[in-house]
Amino acid sequence: MSKNPAKDFGEIASDYAFFEQHATEALEDARAYQEHVATINSAGRVINLLDFGCGSGTFTARFVEQAGWPPEQLRLTLVEPADSQRSQAVARLARFTATPAVESSALTVALDACFDVVLANQVLYYVSDLEDTLRRLIAALTPTGLFLTAIGARANVLMEFLIAAFNLLGRQMPYNTSEDVEAALTALNANYEKRPVSYELSFSDSEENRMRIIRFLLSDHLVQIPLEPLLERFDQFSRDGRIEIRTQTDHYTLRP
Average pLDDT value for residue range 88-114 = 92
Task: Check whether 237 has a pLDDT greater than 90.
Answer: yes
Task: Check whether 224 has a pLDDT greater than 90.
Answer: no
| Per-residue pLDDT, 2 | 37
The strand pairing partners of 197, in sequence order, are 249
pLDDT in tens, 121-164: 999 999 999 999 999 999 999 999 999 999 999 999 999 999 99
Stretch among 35-39, 54-58, 215-219 having the lowest mean pLDDT: 35-39
What secondary structure letter does DSSP report for 11? G
Is 129 part of any domain?
yes
Is 43 part of any domain?
yes
Query: What SS3 string covers 83-140?
Result: HHHHHHHHHHHHHHCCCCCEEECCCCHHHCCCEEEEEEECCHHHCCCHHHHHHHHHHC
| Per-residue pLDDT, 191 | 93
Question: In the chain, how many domains are there?
Answer: 1
* CATH code for the domain of 105: 3.40.50.150
Question: Using an 8 Å Cβ cutoff, are 150 and 35 in contact?
Answer: no
pLDDT in tens, 2-21: 344 455 555 688 999 999 99
Question: Using an 8 Å Cβ cutoff, are 146 and 116 in contact?
Answer: yes
Q: Which domain holds residue 179?
A: 9-254
Average pLDDT along the chain:
92
Is 87 part of any domain?
yes
Amino acid of residue 5: P
Is 163 part of any domain?
yes
| Per-residue pLDDT, 8 | 53
Question: Using an 8 Å Cβ cutoff, are 216 and 16 in contact?
Answer: yes
Question: Using an 8 Å Cβ cutoff, are 60 and 129 in contact?
Answer: no
Is 2 part of any domain?
no
Is 4 part of any domain?
no
